[in-house]
Amino acid sequence: MATKKNDWKERLNIVYSTNPDFQYSTDEMEENETLPKQQQKLRVSIEKNHRGGKTVTIVRNFIGTSDDMKELGKLLKTKCGVGGSAKEGEILIQGDFKEKVIEILKKEGYTQTR
């Protein structure tokens, strides 16, 4: 038996329409295709502001799907042995690991990393 897609939660704030030709559409942004590793121009920086005094290593400019970004974030967190997150186009690594992150990214094939 085929399961019906339960998408009512996606339509919570939609007003009912009597128009028989009404097509429900979402405003979700389409994710970009993930660029090959050699074309990624990743920028690694250290930030301390607005973090409660904690130092964070940030990897910016990742172009691709959120799943691929989270996978790269998981790899970096594992190799550095610390926590962090990957969201909104940035990978956050807890602590000052700029040089180590750049080294890991270059070993993984991200040649245009600075």
Whether residue 114 has pLDDT greater than 90: no
Q: What is the pLDDT of residue 24?
A: 66
* CATH classification code of 32-108: 3.30.780.10
Q: Would you kindly state where each structural domain of the chain is located, as residue ranges?
A: 32-108
The pTM (predicted TM-score) of the whole model is 0.71
User: How many other CB atoms sit within 10 Å of the CB of residue 108?
Assistant: 14
Whether residue 73 has pLDDT greater than 90: yes
Choose among 42, 47, 27: nearest CA to 76.
42
pLDDT band at residue 109 using 50, 70 and 90 as cut-offs: very high
